[in-house]
Structure 1
């Protein structure tokens, strides 16, 4: 629902600029000698930096359903990352501008502005908030390599310290407190929810079956102990296994796409051996408990019913399309025709091939085509046109490895297909 996404974005923009709008009557406008102009820039950048920092915390709450107002959790997480990075840059501008504003008086005055005596506690709270931001953001820089998933999750607690120190800094110095209390409650409250309340609201499931699909790929079948979640096709959940025998990942949450039809009372989740936790889940013990949080995402929500659909799935990224196909097999109403291309290296790695062939034979309007890269090379425009001549007129959904997603997006854009009709998602530290 595009309007939901726009409403979330607009609301966020209003909150970003709210403290600045409240403070502008006191700050006035830019002008005057360079020192006054730089002081104004420093104050404005500091206000925007803290607002973005607090809102980055607020949008991390991960309440199921909240993400739909921003176009899904994957997009909301990108907004979260952008807010955090932008706030860090603005903090640097804030300090630099205020320091430069004092240079016309003297260099000593500039140093004293940035590094006053320790008795000026409000300013040192700002520096402590900056230090916490550096500690939190440093692992995201390429110099340190790819951050470890669980260490990165735990490091988010340092961001809470940055929010608290920054808020304290602003409340001691700002002339208008209520906007900061509003954003502070939102930001710190979201972290409290994420770390304290949300884990208690997860749904308990039992691992009913572990179905091997191929070497290094299984499908977990989970049955709810009480009330299970309600989902639509294309959504994903966070799975926390509690099997005591797991070599890794016990008690850790990781995102996985739902491969079951919404009408299925059980959850089916395809898992490929891609890391320590997913490797351990290949041999999870049936009967053990697991916690489920979600669902999240809106992969198939962004579409127009008057258009037919083209689904392009590869690797374990086939799972949202398997869920969609299983939904059709249960008698779900299909709006328009659907053509699914399964991109795999060979038949052995086409995990759900037999089931998808069977569904295509039984469901009118659902077409299934395999593409094996070892035989055909990479997917080409000619191959798509051969089996789906009207592919450029369809609404297109892509899910697979990053390299496949990038290649297909480039191929489709080169055919003149508007980016607004190409939908793809890649989980990246959700």
Structure 2
């Protein structure tokens, strides 16, 4: 079982490492001198924003490298990317306020002086900072407000590495506290170099350094609800995984663009890997056109979404649509070792035609006396909710709850369960916020 303290430590590590530069900065002068007046206070706050923002920016670049160690200090790589999204937004705010707060002292002279401070000039160390902020702003605007094809969207994020390099030069050439404080300078230099190495490792030289396992397509089965189960076999050694985990798959096929996407395994451990993939979006709309013999590369496995990662053997599983995929991996993996588990599985789809795996699940139920399955159709029964589940599973508050489905479904059920009194540590969702 995972060490829960270690698995949640990543958030605290980011906070501590981000605040460390400001702590070194505070050691230089007394606080009274830093905040003796409005001009001194805004300048100090601007410096704190810049130092904290730069350290956090470094950590966000490092997090994007998708290293295995992040699985241990977060509750799976999914949680690492949730942290990446949260702290990434905070980083941008800090770096945005950094020049605005510093401009206050120039505003006391004149608005023109403040404007000149914020605009490009002949002083290139300052220009590097402006360029870094401009690239970051444009990239984030594209991310949040413009819908692009995945491969284009992913390419734009390489510019964040470029923005970081400009920011790095800005920090070390601008002639600020970083230049006079050796401890601060050394800390930010090491953190920055690790970030640059992480960026080069993942974004530039990933094809050379990242281990990917070669597989080949053995078959593609069309299932209800526009779901295809893609079957792969290894060209060499097979990959081992925990039921419920996912991998990044890059197919080499004329039907698909060559980019890695995350997919949960629907198979148990074994020579053959299976993925339940729904036909939707630019990429997966052509998934059914894969052919036997098409090559694939697998990176992983990742994730901590598995019934075996929780000590509580009384569980409720809730799947929405293609969110059944990781649960199929778990169901197909049930064996004698899992006889102590008591599982209520809610399989929710729009209508009867949407049950992609119903027949197989019914066969699995016959072999597992402690497994109970509730097939739920929203067309005739309405959306699944915590009250319905409480009625059918009276001891739900004493169970661990695993949910995989649409973002709206997972968010709503989580809110309802929390309101119902279930401890948040008992609720586990599979969220692909990985890009």
Q: How would you bin the TM-score normalised by the shorter chain?
A: over 0.9
Question: Which residue among 316, 320, 329 is the counterpart of 1:314?
Answer: 320
**Offset at residue 147 of structure 1 (A):** 4.1
Give the 3-state SS of the residue equivalent to 2:10 in structure 1: helix
Give the 3-state SS of the residue equivalent to 1:341 in structure 2: strand
Partner in structure 1 of residue 108 of structure 2: 104
Query: Does residue 54 in structure 1 map to residue 58 in structure 2?
Result: yes
Alignment RMSD: 2.0
Contact kept in structure 2, 1:216 and 1:279, CA below 8 Å: no
Q: Which stretches of structure 1, 4 residues or longer, exceed 6 Å deviation after superposition? A: none
**Offset at residue 351 of structure 1 (A):** 0.7
Query: Does residue 258 in structure 1 map to residue 270 in structure 2?
Result: no
Query: Does residue 128 in structure 1 map to residue 126 in structure 2?
Result: no
Distance 1:386 1:116 in 2: 65
Partner in structure 2 of residue 394 of structure 1: 399
Distance 1:149 1:234 in 2: 24
Query: Does residue 183 in structure 1 map to residue 191 in structure 2?
Result: yes
Partner in structure 1 of residue 48 of structure 2: 44
**Offset at residue 38 of structure 1 (A):** 1.2
Distance 2:18 2:43 in 1: 20
**Offset at residue 116 of structure 1 (A):** 6.8
Q: 1:405 to 1:71 in 2, by over 3 A?
A: same
Distance 1:71 1:332 in 2: 24
Partner in structure 2 of residue 157 of structure 1: 158
Question: Which residue among 332, 345, 348 is the counterpart of 1:343?
Answer: 348
Partner in structure 1 of residue 363 of structure 2: 358
Partner in structure 2 of residue 289 of structure 1: 295
Contact kept in structure 2, 1:371 and 1:379, CA below 8 Å: yes
**Offset at residue 40 of structure 1 (A):** 0.8
Partner in structure 2 of residue 23 of structure 1: 25
Partner in structure 2 of residue 193 of structure 1: 201
Query: Structure 1, residues 227-248: CA drift from partner, whole Å, max 9, x if none?
Result: 232210111111111012x0xx
Contact kept in structure 1, 2:221 and 2:230, CA below 8 Å: yes
Q: 1:233 to 1:360 in 2, by over 3 A?
A: same
Distance 1:383 1:301 in 2: 22
Distance 2:35 2:281 in 1: 56
Contact kept in structure 2, 1:64 and 1:295, CA below 8 Å: no
Distance 1:57 1:301 in 2: 31
**Offset at residue 35 of structure 1 (A):** 1.1
Distance 1:267 1:135 in 2: 40
Contact kept in structure 2, 1:216 and 1:282, CA below 8 Å: no
Partner in structure 1 of residue 282 of structure 2: 276
Distance 1:204 1:403 in 2: 35
Q: 1:225 to 1:382 in 2, by over 3 A?
A: same
**Offset at residue 50 of structure 1 (A):** 1.0
Query: Structure 1, residues 228-271: CA drift from partner, whole Å, max 9, x if none?
Result: 32210111111111012x0xx32111111111113x22211000
Q: 1:148 to 1:428 in 2, by over 3 A?
A: farther
Give the 3-state SS of the residue equivalent to 1:63 in structure 2: coil
Comparing 361-370 with 399-408, greater Cα deviation is found at 399-408
Q: 1:302 to 1:256 in 2, by over 3 A?
A: same
Q: Normalization by structure 1: what TM-score?
A: 0.92
Comparing 109-118 with 196-205, greater Cα deviation is found at 109-118
Query: Does residue 8 in structure 1 map to residue 3 in structure 2?
Result: no
Distance 2:36 2:324 in 1: 61
**Offset at residue 318 of structure 1 (A):** 0.4
Q: 1:344 to 1:108 in 2, by over 3 A?
A: closer
**Offset at residue 334 of structure 1 (A):** 4.3
Contact kept in structure 1, 2:319 and 2:405, CA below 8 Å: yes
Q: Which runs of 5+ in 1 are unaligned?
A: none
Aligned length, in residue pairs: 422
Distance 1:232 1:130 in 2: 41
**Offset at residue 211 of structure 1 (A):** 1.4
Q: 1:204 to 1:89 in 2, by over 3 A?
A: same
**Offset at residue 188 of structure 1 (A):** 1.4
Q: Normalization by structure 2: what TM-score?
A: 0.91
Give the 3-state SS of the residue equivalent to 1:26 in structure 2: coil
Question: Which residue among 328, 332, 338 is the counterpart of 1:326?
Answer: 332
Distance 1:381 1:136 in 2: 39
